[in-house]
Amino acid sequence: MRYLLLSRSLSSASSSPASLLPRPAAASSFSSMADGGAGPRARARLRGVVFDMDGTLTVPAIDFAAMYRAVLGDDEYRRIRAENPAGIDILHHIEGWSPERQRTAYEVIADHERQGLDRLQIMPGAAELCSFLDSKKLRRGLITRNVKSAVDLFHQRFGVIFSPALSREFRPYKPDPAPLLHICSSWEVQPSEVMMVGDSLKDDVTCGKRAGAFTCLLDQTGRYDAPEFDSVDLKPDFKVSCLTEVFPLLEANFDLAP
C-alpha cells in the first residue's frame, strides 16, 4: 500500500521531504511501501484533485463534538465515540430514527452549521494550492457533507470555484464513493487519475479508497498519529500537516497532466 508521510519539517515548497510511515526516515526523499527497495516507482498520472470543505478548504469552525452531544446526548455520544475512534457518522446514525426525531436532529445540526458559517475562513494555503492546480491545468472538485448554501457562501466569499461541488443534498454522501465517482465521470477521467484530499479518515479517505482514487489526509494536529488508528482498515496514501505540503507532494510523485 502506498502510505507516505510528508515531513512536518518542510521548510520550503521547493524541497520535497517525506518519510515512510510509521517510522520517520531521513527527510530527503520520498519512499513507498510498494517499492520493496527495488528502485523508484513509476509516476502515476494525476488529472484532478477533489477536496473536502470543512476543516480542509476552510479553517475548522464547527464544534462537531458539541453538535454530536446535542443530537445524541452525553451518554450515547460517549458510547458511540468509544466504538468508533475514527469518528462518528452522525448523518448515517440518525437515518434509522423516527421522522420526528430525525427532524429535530437535523434542526440541531443545521443550527451548528449556521454558527460555523458566521466564522467561515479559508484555510491557509488553499488559494495558493488552487492557483498551483490552475497552472498545471488540473481539475478541482469538492465533496462536503455540509449543505449547498455553505458551498455557495464559500464560493462567493473567497472567489475560488470548484466544479463539480457536491453537498449533502447529493445522495449517497461520503464515505460512500458515489460522489467521487460522479465527479470522475463528469470529468471523463478514471478514479486512479484523481486524488481525494480531506481531514477525515472516516469520510474522506474511505470515500477515496472505495472509489479507487489516491488519498491525502490533512492532519494539522497529529491526531491520527495516535496508536488507536494503527489498525484501521483504510489508510491514506499520503499524510500532510498543512495544505502547502501538498505542492511538493504532487510534483514529486505524479505526472501532472490535464
Identify the active-site residue in 54, 89, 203, 219.
Answer: 54
Q: What's the pLDDT score for residue 207? A: 98
As a whole number, mean pLDDT of residues 73-83 equals 86
Is 203 catalytic? The answer is no
Q: Percentage of the chain surpassing pLDDT 70?
A: 84
Is 52 catalytic? The answer is yes
pLDDT classification of 19: cutoffs 50, 70, 90: very low
Could you tell me the CA-to-CA distances from 40 to 215, 231, 253, 254 in Å, in that order? Answer: 20, 27, 10, 12
Q: How far is CA 8 from the centre of its chain?
A: 18
pLDDT classification of 144: cutoffs 50, 70, 90: very high
Please state, in angstroms and rounded to a whole number, the distance separating the CA atoms of residues 76 and 88: 11
Name which of 241, 232, 240 is nearest 214 in CA terms.
240
As a whole number, mean pLDDT of residues 235-250 equals 97
Does residue 7 surpass a pLDDT of 70?
Answer: no
Model pTM score: 0.74
Dump strand ranges (E) for the chain.
4-6, 18-20, 44-46, 48-51, 139-143, 165-166, 194-198, 214-218, 238-240, 254-256
Q: Which residue has the higher pLDDT, 79 or 6?
A: 79
Q: Which residue has the higher pLDDT, 249 or 78?
A: 249
Q: Percentage of the chain surpassing pLDDT 90?
A: 55
pLDDT classification of 41: cutoffs 50, 70, 90: low
pLDDT classification of 114: cutoffs 50, 70, 90: confident
Q: What's the pLDDT score for residue 90? A: 81
pLDDT classification of 249: cutoffs 50, 70, 90: very high
pLDDT classification of 94: cutoffs 50, 70, 90: confident
Residues 6+ apart with CB under 8 A from 113: 62, 146, 147, 150
User: How is residue 157 written as a grid cell?
Assistant: 466569499
Q: What confidence tens digit (pLDDT) does each residue in 171-227 have?
A: 999 999 999 999 999 999 999 999 999 999 999 999 999 999 999 999 999 999 988
Identify the active-site residue in 52, 89, 203, 204.
Answer: 52
